[in-house]
Amino acid sequence: MTKETRTLLRGIPALNFRGNVEGHDLFHNPPDVVVCDGFVGNIVLKFYESVSRLIVKLATRSAPALLTSADMKEIFRVLDYSEYGGAPLLGVKGVCIICHGSSSPKSIKVAIRGAVHAAEVGLSSHIGAQMAALAGRAA
C-alpha cells in the first residue's frame, strides 16, 4: 500500500510531493505536511514542543541575557503549542481538532476558535473537494 500511495502521489502534478523525509528535513527544509502513523507523529510533536525548553536550558547555562531579548521571545512564541491550540484531524467528515493532553485554558480557547473557523469556512468539504479533484487528475 505504501508503494502504491507513493506512486499515486508522485503522479499528481498539482501536488508538491517530496517523498520520504528525514528528521533534519523538519527543521532545515520543512515540508508543509508529513504523513505518518499516530505513534511517530506524537513523538515528533513532543520533540518539537521540547525544543524551546532545551533552548532555555542551554541559554541559562551559557548566555542568560539572551533569554530576555525580543527576538528570543518571538522564537518562544512561535514554538509555543498553546499559540495554535490544536490541529485538525483529517479524514473525518466534519471538524475534529486534536489538542495536547496537557493543554492550558488558553490553548483550548485557541483550539475552539480554530474549530469554529474551520466549520464556518467548510474546511472538511473544501479538503474533500480538492482531494477528489487531485485524484481525478491522477487517474
Element (H, E) at 87: strand 86-88
Alpha-carbon gap, residue 24 to 11, rounded angstroms:
26
Contacts of 106 (CB under 8 A, 6+ apart): 82
Tell me the whole-structure pTM to 2 decimals. Answer: 0.65
The pLDDT tens digits of the residues spanning 80-130 come to 888 888 888 877 888 999 888 888 999 999 999 999 999 999 998 888 888
pLDDT band at 35 (very low <50, low <70, confident <90, very high): confident
For the chain, give every domain's residue range: 85-139
Query: In 11-84, which residue ranges form alpha helices assigned H by DSSP?
Result: 25-28, 38-62, 70-79
